[in-house]
A and B are shown apart, each in its own frame.
Chain A
Amino acid sequence: MTQAQDQSDWAVLMQDSLSGDADAYRRLLASLAPTLRAFVQRRGHAYGLERADAEDVVQETLLAIHLKRHTWDPSRPIAPWIVAITRNKMIDAQRRRRVRRDVPLEDVAPFLTAQPDDDPLIRRDLETMFEALGVRNRDLVQSISVEGRSIGETAKRLNMKEGAVRVALHRAIKAMATMYRSYES
């Protein structure tokens, strides 16, 4: 999916992550995101995906990589593992697109050239999922993700124990992955 250099870097970062290096893990995800985006934009067409789907698939893939990272066999190259997960999520998105009501082209035309993160179509889907988390969990996730606070700071701000914040965050992340899947049916 990309140059050999990246692949061996990812393998090293993932190996470090699996043995408990949180910083390696953050760097791995940050470096994967743009590559996944380019990959999905390039290959998405073969799955009948449109530009508006790409960022959804990237986020869904990152969620799956996160929740399933223990399924990588460190004795094997990492790129095929990443591609397999991405392909699975592109197929999911393809199924979703089939069941979704067709939107007339003139309605989406103004957004086709917009930046992925600013695309109103995408924002609507993700905001909906975000709303579905519930007020308290949304605050918690937003505090960590958008506002960039640590777990400790978030715990203090929301007057919770650190362990409770960890559990709530993990549940919210699993819920986001499930919500993506529930769009299919």
Chain B
Amino acid sequence: MKTDDLVTALAADFEASRVRPNRRFALALAAGFVVSAVVLVAAIGLRRDIGAAVASPRFLFKFVVTLTLAAAAAASLTDTLRPTPAAHPWRIAALLAIAPALLALAVALELLSAPSAQWWPRLVGANARWCLVFIPLLAAAPLAALLTFARTGAPASPRAAGAVAGLLSGGLGAALYASHCTDDSPLFVSVWYVIAIGVVGCVGAALGSRWLRW
């Protein structure tokens, strides 16, 4: 095929090749979240005392920190899906640093308010193993949906784009898991949630470097 003929074919494909990235992004997020929410409610279950727990600032903080991370990653993802380097890389770094900063602050407050004999038991918690299993499990559907969406992009760094998709999915998975988990101390969150979300981020990076090349 000659290049001029290709141009004619591409121009004829104008209508069918139109992509609305924001709409697809929203659909992918919603689909992944709904699937994981159904898995949570149907197979894993909410914690029994959830009615009382919503009055606890420690319980609520788990949602604040995980959803802050998810929102920051969501706000950064589109920028990582362009072939040119991000216009404001420091903005992405700053956004993604908000959740760790909040967590560090919460840990400091916990250390100040809890007696030191309580530190270790609160850090170890009761559900660490399940935390490491369920967060990646609940992140799987959002990650699959987001990576599928990300394939419509043209990331300058497929690995970085995959990592951001992983952090977004990990944040969502962790927020969902938080409503099952009875360990509410920031000390617990700062170890086990962070490890679990980090694993999802690494999986996203690894899958991204394979699937998001274009």
Contact = CB atoms under 8 A, between A and B. Distances in A.
Contacts, number: 108
Contact of A173 (B9, B20, B153): B9
B16 A71 contact: no
Contacts of B14: 17, 22, 25-26
Interface in B141-171: 152-154, 156
A66 B17 contact: yes
Contacts of B9: 141, 144-145, 169, 172-173
A42 interface: no
Contacts of A130: 1
A40 B80 CA distance: 26
Contacts of A169: 9, 12-13, 16
B7 A76 contact: no
A interface residue count range (under 10 / 10 to 19 / 20 to 34 / 35 or more)? 35 or more
Contacts of A66: 10, 13, 17
Contact of A144 (B2, B8, B17, B83): B8
Given A66-B13, A84-B156, A167-B16, A71 B81 contact: yes
B6 A64 contact: no
Interface stretch (A44-52, A55-63, A103-111): A55-63
Interface residues of B, number: 31
Given A59-B6, A73-B84, A85-B154, 10 more contacts: A26-B14, A62-B6, A64-B154, A68-B152, A68-B214, A166-B16, A169-B16, A170-B13, A173-B13, A181-B213
Interface of A: 17, 22, 25-26, 29-30, 33, 37, 55, 58-59, 62-64, 66-73, 76, 80-81, 84-85, 88, 117, 126, 130, 141, 144-146, 148, 150-151, 166-167, 169-170, 172-173, 181
The 6 A-B pairs with the shortest beta carbon distances in the complex, nearest first, are: A145-B5, A26-B11, A145-B9, A84-B83, A170-B16, A68-B154
22 contacts: A22-B14, A25-B11, A26-B7, A30-B4, A33-B3, A58-B3, A62-B7, A62-B10, A66-B13, A67-B17, A68-B154, A71-B82, A72-B82, A73-B84, A76-B87, A88-B154, A166-B15, A169-B9, A169-B13, A172-B9, A173-B9, A181-B214
